[in-house]
Structure 1
Amino acid sequence: MNKRLANLEKHGYDFRVAVNIFEDTVVEIPQRRNDEARILALGILNNHVIAVVYTWRGKARRIISARKASRKERNLFESNT
């Protein structure tokens, strides 16, 4: 199973749809994992705050995961928008 389908099954979000959060306001928090620069992006999708973790590959975003935002993440988004 590929990463996109695994994420869809586990979290209910398709990467191809989750990328739409970047069309509106997002709160981005830099992260670092395994020596890779990652960004946690919090944004709205279908009236819900979701969390999208991604990294840059050249000029393209490579989504690592997309899931429902935690309460803490929702509060962070709401306090920064």
Structure 2
Amino acid sequence: MLPCGAVSSALIIEADPRLAIRLATILAARSLPAAVLADPDRALARVRAEPPALVLLRVELPGTSGFAVCNRLRRDDDTRAIP
């Protein structure tokens, strides 16, 4: 079940552009377009503005950890249901 207002897309939060492109290509082949962001703060703002159907998140991100970003998403009532 998609969160209310979600579009059928994914958000990849990944600092390595080669891996991000590879992941986006795999998802696109399965009819799930993906946006890619490396900056965790911009990614969090994007998730709140345009909730994706799925978030793929790297553990090591510039300036923070993926675990911290995941915790912020889980504490927010509007984003906690996004897988």
Higher fraction of helix: 2
TM-score normalised by structure 1 residue count: 0.25
Q: Which has the higher contact order (CA 8 A, sep 6+)?
A: 2
Higher fraction of strand: 1
TM-score normalised by structure 2 residue count: 0.25
